[in-house]
Structure 1
Amino acid sequence: MKIVFRVVAALVLLSVFVFTVSAQDAAVTVAFVESQPTTLDPHAGRTTDDFLVIRNVCEGLTNYDPVTLAPIPALAESWTISEDGLVYAFTLRAGVTFSDGSALDAADVKYSFDRLSDPNRGTSYTAGLVLRDVAGWADARPVAPSVGEGTPTPEPPTPPGAISGVAVVDDQTVAITLSRPITSFLTRLTLPGGVIVASGSLDASDGTTPPVCAGPYIAQEWVQNDHVTLTANESYWNGAPSVKTVNIRVIPEASSQVIEFEAGSLDISLAPEADLPRIREDAALSAQLRTIPTLGLYNFRVNLKDPKMGDVRVRRALSLAIDRQLVIDTVLQGNGVPAYNMFPPGLAAHNAEYAPFVRDVEAARQLLADAGYPNGIELTVRTDQNETENRVLNAIAATVAEAGITFIVNSTEASVYTQDRNACTMEMGGIRWTMDYPDPENMVVLLLPNAATRVNCGYGEVDVAAEIDTLYNQGISMPLGPERDAVFQQIEQIAMDNALIVPVYHGATSRLVSSRLGGLPLDNNGVMRFALIALQ
């Protein structure tokens, strides 16, 4: 199916034509990360490939700095925050226009957030992340009433179709009222669901209609199962991008992307683990290899109620017995960073000097002996059938055996594992956690009893649960900066002292980037942002 978009007479109309690149040297060709988009609707986007298009075509009130990942002004040139931290007043940039030529105003912001709050339209998981602390979210997403035995099924509540906490002050000002002070709100606004679209432009969207946004690019053509073409928005408020055309191809096999890169058909490609040894041995390819730590943590969620894993000495022994660097070097081919603590590199709260779980086999043996297992212990980890994770777990099993730990990997179909993990019918389970937004609170949720799996695993009953909760509620409302980071580092230390999770590694993404691409083709979140590319 071929879907082509053209801006004509200030309206986005469907038309049938093939876009021809007139300046080949100003064009860049890349490939989607997973497969291809499932939708172009920013309020329904949910995959990495959806977000790749949305982030380059649209923009929100805020964006994030490509290096520090801190929130920065975007469509809002400035904002003020009330003393109680509840009211954010955003002043919009003057003179900003959408891709259809219409002017940005506060009504567009209200339309965008009202639509995102609509449960029938805002189906992206980012809707809750952006708006859950905005006043009126509970009314916009009412919970269906419970049904008592023998009583008629009540009518489900009708959402208002708007969120009351977002209000137009004047054409250039929007006030957003929160239900509680939450410092990460500015960061959450950088999520794809938080982008601003022109009023009414998505009323009839079926997911294939391009969003009318004010970002650096315009979706020009979508040929499903083949490619998406973006063209530069020459009226972009921050200056027209130097890359005038971006062709994003559908090449699901990562190794095929490498072959295309070597042939000169791609400017950026994935560099999968299987190809990394060959890439590193090739002088030309290795010079174009980029590896960026990602904001994630592979870890074990433990059953704190389990007779064995409920003993902190056993948890700490396991944490100390893992040879993380060996796992990264042999299984991941260097595509990761050992997680000796909780927060990944790239977060301001990351402290590289804090490493409580550097490998110490003798200390692990002593802890097991103290816990009553002088002759060793048998532990079982649950997981699904993800190939890389299973290879990681088997490598871990080999390394912890030196400390007397027999580490059994129980791999089942994903739905079975998910059901058992939620019920916590396990000693521990592998968790592939990728942060939704770059704020330490989004990592600390791994410790909070706010999901069934962690409730059932006893995270709300452990002795330090109340202390963590107090610090968390203190930290989430503090201004960004070292003092706030210090509060989250306190939480991290409590979690590591008690080995509430077993951190294994922070992920990384490796890409081949053509030497003709200067600037910042990949930001420090591993996202391709084409407007940041400077052609050599």
Structure 2
Amino acid sequence: MKLRKLRGLLALASATALVLGTAACADSDRDESGSDDQTFVFGAPGDPKSLDPSLATDGETFRVTRQVFETLLEHEPGGTKIVPALAESYQQSPDGLKWDFKLRSGVTFHDGEAFNAAAVCKNFERWYNWSGTYQSTNFSGYWQELMGGFAKNESKETPAANFKSCTPNGDLDVTIEVNKYSATLPGAFTHAAMALHSPKSIDAYAAEPPPTGQEGSFTYPQYSQTAGTVAGTGPFKLTNWDKGAQQVTLERNDNYYGTKAGVQKLVFQTIKDANAGRQALEAGDIDGYDLVAPSDVKPLQDAGYQVPTRGVFNLLYLGMQQETEPLLAKKEVREAIAHAIDKQSIVNSKLPPGAVAANQFMPDTVEGYSDSVPEYAYDPDVAKEKLKAGGAENLSIDFCYPTEVSRPYMPSPPDIFEILKANLQAVGITVNDKPMKWAPDYLDATDAGKCPLYIIGWTGDYNEAFNFIGTWFSVYDSGWGFKDEKLFADMAAVSAEPDQAKRVEMYKALNNQIMEFLPGVPLTSSPPSMAFAKNVKPPTTSPLTQENFAEVSFT
């Protein structure tokens, strides 16, 4: 996965045993008297990749780091409206080139350093001046997506820098200037990858050796893999990452400037199997978990558990790598694959109520959704005709899919893969199974363009259509393996258009253009559910999956 595709399962017995052992330890810390000196254990469907969100592109990293690090702006609880966070207020210049922020006073980082304008600028200068392997999209993908390239780009594929400067105006006022207006702003200032670190932490990061390896196989810097160095301003502090037990432990930040967290400890325990998550919740070994299996929603509700559902703000798609498999460069072959897929069968059998088949690369909850895109109805006979026209009657193709994970847009990847495989084989395509562990194997392989076919998806970061189609199609991306200069130019034009009403119409035209080209197949959008114990006050669910676990408490 390039950041752009932001982007399996353990055996039930072993997963459950792992949870039981972990939760038993957590239970020993709980105060049954009802005080807030308690531990909340949450079952997450995948492992994080890094404790430094700036280096991440995956939702499981951001789930953890959002509790530890904060951003200048954020989204209102339960919605997509942008509101102040570490900035009390902000103002955009008429041309969209200057952003003035009034910062909160009395805020400190976890290591005791003061939060101020100088600290904000030190973060932006860190990102802007990244070099070497840090310029790989494996690490700086979101910076490149949101703010462009660097002070000195080291690859011709790296976009031009849009960040221009960060200027402190006293202690609590700061101005961030960009070279041109971008539709990624102000959304970028809400993004977990652009959360703010303490100056002391940034100095410690710089003292460590940079990441090693090559595209598709990198090793993260040590500071990002162990607790102790990273420091944010959030309601929780990182205290431990036990990779063997697949759990991350956070403790309440009692010096937090805002409302203190409702529990003393927060544990994210990886539970990669939905059945194991349900059983652990029912046994009282965990207090909540994410991505409830659709068939478990009603039984859990009937038993008195809380099962809140998020709004639909995601997309699952079938990616096609046109460089790795040259036959995919022929539109007739891509059309054949699109016509071969029965999307509705995925919706009916594998997704929760409220899921829908997708016909473009964004859900209909985003402004810019088009009602007139070219569509490719499920029709095996047409698929066979298209394969013949493309000279691919004997097509044999590798199909990668992730294991040991569940995602908001993809609750059971192996099951969805099996439906897609059966669809393709029914029209004469030979499918070669390529299962891979989600992190890092699958993410690295899809990012590096090593998978001819693959399934992956996206949950929106903020409510702007560019965050969907611009994320995938604004520049050449090895995950797709195609170059369409007109499409890239049209993407640049919509990003630079400051008038929102005009942007929306441009997005609609771009959706039509993308589906005419058909780089991949949009599959489904769905509303993922979470589940919580009866004695829990859960966090407000977010369509962006940006839940704030400081809201959690025991009733």
Q: Match of 1:382?
A: 398
Q: Match of 1:182?
A: 182
Q: Match of 2:278?
A: 258
**Secondary structure in 2 aligned to 1:138?**
coil
CA distance, structure 1, for counterparts of residue 93 and residue 456 of structure 2: 37
**Amino acid across the alignment from 1:409:** V
Conserved 8 A contact 2:40-2:263: no
* 1:130 equivalenced with 2:143 (yes/no): yes
CA distance, structure 2, for counterparts of residue 213 and residue 77 of structure 1: 17
Q: Match of 2:457?
A: 433
CA distance, structure 1, for counterparts of residue 204 and residue 382 of structure 2: 65
Q: Residue by residue, what CA displacement relative to the aligned partner does 1:53-105 show, whole Å, maximum 9, x if unpaired?
A: 32012211111234333432211122233333222222212343434555421
**Pairing partner for 1:295 from 297, 308, 314:** 314
**Amino acid across the alignment from 2:167:** A
Residue 420 of structure 1 deviates from its aligned partner by 10
Q: Match of 1:173?
A: 173
Q: By percentage of residues, which structure has more helix?
A: 2
Instruction: Give the percent of matched residue pairs that are identical in Structure 1 and Structure 2.
Output: 18
Conserved 8 A contact 1:518-1:534: yes
**Secondary structure in 2 aligned to 1:525?**
coil
The unaligned stretches of length 5 or more in structure 2 are 1-27, 157-162, 206-222, 404-411
Q: Match of 2:477?
A: 451
* 1:488 equivalenced with 2:514 (yes/no): no
Conserved 8 A contact 1:39-1:50: yes
Conserved 8 A contact 1:91-1:173: yes
**Pairing partner for 2:430 from 385, 403, 408:** 408
Conserved 8 A contact 1:66-1:524: no
* 1:267 equivalenced with 2:283 (yes/no): no
Conserved 8 A contact 2:227-2:240: no
- RMSD of aligned residue pairs (Cα, Å): 4.4
Change (3 A) 1:325 1:490: same
Conserved 8 A contact 1:338-1:506: yes
**Secondary structure in 2 aligned to 1:434?**
strand
**Pairing partner for 1:217 from 230, 236, 246:** 236
**Pairing partner for 1:68 from 73, 79, 98:** 79
Q: Residue by residue, what CA displacement relative to the aligned partner does 1:259-312 show, whole Å, maximum 9, x if unpaired?
A: 221022322114564xx5355445535853344445333223264999975665
Q: Residue by residue, what CA displacement relative to the aligned partner does 1:401-434 show, whole Å, maximum 9, x if unpaired?
A: 78xx32331234768998899679x9x6224133
Conserved 8 A contact 1:40-1:209: no
Change (3 A) 1:119 1:422: closer
**Amino acid across the alignment from 1:432:** I
Conserved 8 A contact 1:229-1:245: no
Residue 130 of structure 1 deviates from its aligned partner by 3.0
CA distance, structure 2, for counterparts of residue 396 and residue 42 of structure 1: 33
CA distance, structure 1, for counterparts of residue 106 and residue 527 of structure 2: 39
After TM superposition, the structure 1 stretch with the greater mean CA deviation from structure 2, 289-298 or 222-231, is: 222-231
Q: Residue by residue, what CA displacement relative to the aligned partner does 1:312-345 show, whole Å, maximum 9, x if unpaired?
A: 5664454344321212333457695422222035
CA distance, structure 1, for counterparts of residue 277 and residue 418 of structure 2: 29
Change (3 A) 1:417 1:107: closer
Conserved 8 A contact 2:474-2:492: no
**Amino acid across the alignment from 1:383:** F
CA distance, structure 2, for counterparts of residue 495 and residue 185 of structure 1: 23
Q: Match of 1:328?
A: 347
After TM superposition, the structure 1 stretch with the greater mean CA deviation from structure 2, 208-217 or 303-312, is: 303-312
User: Larger Cα Rg: Structure 1 or Structure 2?
Assistant: 1
Q: Match of 2:125?
A: 114
Residue 482 of structure 1 deviates from its aligned partner by 4.3
With structure 2 as the length reference, what TM-score do the two structures score? 0.71
* 1:284 equivalenced with 2:302 (yes/no): yes
CA distance, structure 1, for counterparts of residue 47 and residue 445 of structure 2: 29
Matched ranges for 1:492-503 at <5 A: 492-503=511-522
Matched ranges for 1:243-254 at <5 A: 243-254=262-273
**Secondary structure in 2 aligned to 1:261?**
helix
Q: Match of 1:30?
A: 41
CA distance, structure 2, for counterparts of residue 282 and residue 89 of structure 1: 47
CA distance, structure 1, for counterparts of residue 304 and residue 501 of structure 2: 37
- The structure whose RCO (Cα within 8 Å, separation 6+) is larger is 2
Q: Match of 2:416?
A: 392
CA distance, structure 1, for counterparts of residue 164 and residue 501 of structure 2: 34
Q: Match of 2:12?
A: none
Conserved 8 A contact 1:423-1:453: yes
Conserved 8 A contact 1:42-1:195: yes
Change (3 A) 1:208 1:423: closer
**Secondary structure in 2 aligned to 1:411?**
strand
Conserved 8 A contact 2:97-2:180: yes
**Secondary structure in 1 aligned to 2:203?**
coil
Q: Match of 1:478?
A: 497
Conserved 8 A contact 1:251-1:257: no
CA distance, structure 1, for counterparts of residue 104 and residue 271 of structure 2: 39
Alignment size in residue pairs: 483
Change (3 A) 1:336 1:86: same
Conserved 8 A contact 1:43-1:115: no
Q: Match of 2:17?
A: none
Residue 492 of structure 1 deviates from its aligned partner by 0.7
Change (3 A) 1:372 1:420: same
Change (3 A) 1:170 1:522: same
Change (3 A) 1:251 1:194: closer
Change (3 A) 1:195 1:263: same
Conserved 8 A contact 2:116-2:171: yes
Conserved 8 A contact 2:336-2:383: yes
CA distance, structure 1, for counterparts of residue 202 and residue 324 of structure 2: 49
CA distance, structure 2, for counterparts of residue 487 and residue 313 of structure 1: 27
